[in-house]
Structure 1
């Protein structure tokens, strides 16, 4: 397996975990609810999401590159990180069955929904901020993206392989945000028809789906971490 293929396979579970965050999806659907400036709000949300994604992944790359020179070696360090992350994901998966992420309206997200929407600039600022801060507020997505960056950094790939891997990670992690923007760009009415059914479904079942995904990913990371740690 080539270096690029190996890195992509390693980070795919992280991207899938970030993709299934119900908090991100719920806020995305809220951002594009009826009455908003659909194309502008979805573009601003996408731009904010991309910027915070890049900040998190490059932070992880920086940490991972530094850890790659430790006495344990990059594979053992990565294995330890995955075992710890797996335990955290299992806890979050269990928690998701009892605490709904989308329902949290206080703190850094609380005042967002009271911001003005009476002109293009205020709409752009509001939804740019919402896209930026939602990933941070969804602790699971933020930590998965950052740790994916660490895993890439531990592999010390070439610049080209790093860039390709980060792009693939971003497309998968932000897939729903990208699709929503494309749909609203093509037709607001068509986008509404497609996204409306997901609003109720996300509120009702999104956390249960996330609980299953996080629990399975947690087990996967723990098993993979122990396997690689014992092989070295």
Structure 2
């Protein structure tokens, strides 16, 4: 057995290159806004924790990390380093295991992979919902693949409109909520399901709002600033919906 603080110090120092690789992959303010408080909270609680942990699992994790530093890609290096810290947190902190593991997985630089796998399905689903929302408001738009057709023009759902980042941010927020509220496996699963649903709907709502901005329904408000403002407002609504819904479910 070794003191927790010693194990934590060794893990952070030995895996310094993994933390560097993780930091350089934080490429937008939304990611930083979600990651920094979560990592800081877990790190602070670990530093303040007392007790000891078994040395063998820590050593095995650091050996695996050293091997992947030589032969593996950056994603595996970051994954193994994060896994060592998560195991220390699970061993000594009173935190739910599954949400913490889920949060650690989401902290990995997986956005390029999610973009590759989910961009088209999410664009298609968001386009379908956006068309339904606009038609409900009396605007005669139609759908062709992932493009809205209106007045002889095609308005394409491009990559940034897929909502992959909004989905990822919603899943991170769901994991943080589950950790803060000590949810078990069932509660965490429900929260993740809610996160997926509100993220998809929120992205469609964002796209419908931008349709009004870009097509002259709203004057004096447009350009890149409008896109960012509408996106932030949509995510704020998603976050508020998740906080209220999960609070009611636990009441």
Same fold (TM over 0.5): no
> Quick one: higher RCO (CA 8 Å, sep 6+), 1 or 2?
1
Q: Which has the higher strand share?
A: 2
